[in-house]
Structure 1
Amino acid sequence: MGYYPSHLKHFHGLPVHHVDGPEGEPAPGPGLPPPASVAWRLAADWDVPFEERWSSFMDRVRTDEVVALVVGPWWQEWDEHGIGLVLDLITADAHRLPRLRAVFLGDVESEESEISWIKQGDIGRVLHAWPGLRELGLRGAENLVIEPLRHAELRTLRVESGGLPPEPVRGLAACDLPALQHLELWLGTTWYGGDCTADDVRALLDMLGRGRALRHLGLCDSDIQDEIAAAVAAAPVVAGLDSLDLSMGTLSDDGGAALLSGQPLTHLRALDLGHHFMSEEMTRRVREALGPHIPALGLTPAHRRAHRPEDRYVAVGE
């Protein structure tokens, strides 16, 4: 089971097409795919800044038909300023992308930047620019801003990070997202800014419980995974879910016991507790209690470090 973030191959149900070609070579103009058939990925490289790549894309592609956009590394050597300049560019051209329904910001592998170094920005700018947006994903959480807002169409929100600060989580908890069906947050570790508390998680769960659309919830990769499990076990929103993901974190017997003693989970089609630190006995209890009812039950344990087998750690930090 690997959790290393890698370049997207598909996004919003579409294959990702690199505007500069899959290996950095220029994509031939006559061979461009139909605009709505792919998720268009743009990234800077050593020779071409992001601004030039964006301008070329806007000139060569019928952007009024584009539905999905993926932003890779926007820097040429290193990122000094964060994603703000990219947000300036793309939101200024929002009127030329009227059918855009999905955006991913920060399709970056560790060779390009560690996940904890990726500098995000105010993603509300994207949501305001495209009121019809249905999917928003991003990787990295440094400088991430989520202000309270209402967005009537957003179905999917995914935030991958090695450490998600509490401020964006609190901002998200104050949002009104009535159409949200899929939420996945990698909360990360305090070593990399993931300082969310159980109270922050409970406030978010309360907000989600006020809607009726949510079908998938992922609260992953946290070093307070036991406290998250306890909060989830008591959250009314869980009754309406099809799938629940509490993987990649430091889940121990305490978290497993909280899930077993809380509200019923047998209605779920999928429950992922992978990369856990539960004992064999607790793992057996979870499997016996939930395995007969949940078709996809993920119980792959974390790798125990040979020199300190008692240590617990998140799957993705730096």
Structure 2
Amino acid sequence: MTINTHLTEFAGRPVIVFDPAAELPADPSTVAWRLTADYDSSTGDFAALVEQFLAKVEPASVRTLIIGQWGSAYEEEAPVELLVGLAGRLTGLRELFLGEMTFEESEISWIKQTDVTPLLVAYPELETLRVRGSDGLVVTPTRHRALRELAFESGGLPATVVRAVAECDLPALTHLELWLGTDEYLGDATVDDLAPILAGTRLPALTYLGLRDAEIADPVAAALAGAPVVARLHTLDLSLGILSDVGAAALLAGQPLTHLRRLDLHHHYVGPELAARLVEELPGVEIDLSDAKEADRDGDRYVDVAE
């Protein structure tokens, strides 16, 4: 699968693409503003667009911001420095999506990212940070007292990023979502890299854990079977990956999962028998087993989002 549509809602707010010529909504704080440039423009052009935006929309009223194309996003890295420089003006910013692009703008694994940690430092009241793309992505272990949702969407998430996230101190975080991907697209993380996350020590408020799009879905499931963090979750999301009967059996043989509200396994390679057992043995849990797949003639299985 490729990402072929833009968000119409983010952080519970309708998305509006900023148009300098369009009329503003009555309350700019109630929408998610999407700033996007043309693919053949430059980061300078994008910076000019941002200034147009802030000249028309009161900066302090901007609560939710989506950054789309900042120019040729497969050649020029994300405008983190620009956003950091605006922290003194965007004082109301609480939700940020960096790199919300479709495959027509840039394949997910081509998006040029950079060190996103300065965003967390510059915006201590930020509650949501979602990043798409992992080429050049860096995270430095840090403490952030307000962040509630952290998500990294990728076709392959480097082990260095996973380890850094695991070392962050995020006492308010309730939602952690990592698209682990495949090693063909930088996704070289192992279960060992996930160990601090599965222990949950630095994530006391976590209730949603998404280890998605994972080529290592079966080993992840086996590790989750005994992971301390699972007991406090209401949602476990292993969707988009290559979970098979091996992983499903490990989940069933491990610690009880009946406390979960939702178990999301959609896009999976679990056979009908194990799928039926999951439903039977986890009554009351909403289980998404849609988009069942079969291995190809060579026995190969594929994550949903790669390139």
1:126 corresponds in structure 2 to 119
2:18 corresponds in structure 1 to 19
Where do residues 165-204 of structure 1 align in structure 2 (5 Å cutoff)? 165-204=158-197
One-letter amino acid of the counterpart of residue 202, structure 1: A
Contact 1:221 1:315 in 2 (8 A): yes
1:317 corresponds in structure 2 to 306
- CA distance, structure 1, for counterparts of residue 56 and residue 261 of structure 2: 44
Contact 1:219 1:245 in 2 (8 A): yes
* Shift of residue 40, structure 1, vs aligned partner: 1.0
Moved more, 275-284 or 265-274: 275-284
Where do residues 256-267 of structure 1 align in structure 2 (5 Å cutoff)? 256-267=248-259
Which of residues 215, 218, 224 is equivalent to 1:232?
224
Where do residues 55-204 of structure 1 align in structure 2 (5 Å cutoff)? 55-75=51-71, 77=72, 79-83=74-78, 86-204=79-197
* Shift of residue 113, structure 1, vs aligned partner: 0.6
- CA distance, structure 1, for counterparts of residue 202 and residue 34 of structure 2: 35
Identity %: 49
One-letter amino acid of the counterpart of residue 74, structure 2: D
In structure 2, relative to structure 1, the CA distance for the partners of 1:116 and 1:266 (3 Å cut) is same
- CA distance, structure 1, for counterparts of residue 70 and residue 270 of structure 2: 40
* Shift of residue 92, structure 1, vs aligned partner: 0.7
Secondary structure class of the residue paired with 2:136: coil
Moved more, 125-134 or 87-96: 87-96
Secondary structure class of the residue paired with 1:95: coil
* Shift of residue 3, structure 1, vs aligned partner: 6.8
1:51 corresponds in structure 2 to 47
1:23 corresponds in structure 2 to none
- CA distance, structure 2, for counterparts of residue 50 and residue 303 of structure 1: 41
State the number of aligned residues.
304
Contact 2:15 2:31 in 1 (8 A): yes
Contact 2:73 2:111 in 1 (8 A): no
| TM-score between the two structures when normalised by the length of structure 1 | 0.91
- CA distance, structure 2, for counterparts of residue 222 and residue 120 of structure 1: 20
In structure 2, relative to structure 1, the CA distance for the partners of 1:47 and 1:310 (3 Å cut) is closer
* Shift of residue 137, structure 1, vs aligned partner: 0.4
The superposition leaves residues 189-219 of structure 1 with CA deviations (integer Å, 9 ceiling, x where unpaired) of 011110001101223222x344321111100
Which runs of 5 or more residues in structure 2 are unaligned?
Answer: none
Moved more, 176-185 or 279-288: 279-288
Which runs of 5 or more residues in structure 1 are unaligned?
Answer: 21-25
Which of residues 282, 298, 304 is equivalent to 2:294?
304
In structure 2, relative to structure 1, the CA distance for the partners of 1:200 and 1:47 (3 Å cut) is closer
One-letter amino acid of the counterpart of residue 250, structure 1: I
* Shift of residue 283, structure 1, vs aligned partner: 1.4
- CA distance, structure 1, for counterparts of residue 214 and residue 68 of structure 2: 25
* Shift of residue 311, structure 1, vs aligned partner: 2.0
In structure 2, relative to structure 1, the CA distance for the partners of 1:5 and 1:148 (3 Å cut) is farther
- CA distance, structure 1, for counterparts of residue 237 and residue 2 of structure 2: 14
Secondary structure class of the residue paired with 1:70: strand
1:223 corresponds in structure 2 to 215
In structure 2, relative to structure 1, the CA distance for the partners of 1:78 and 1:101 (3 Å cut) is closer
Deviation beyond 6 Å, 4+ runs, structure 1: none
Moved more, 232-241 or 296-305: 296-305
* Shift of residue 293, structure 1, vs aligned partner: 2.4
Contact 2:264 2:289 in 1 (8 A): yes
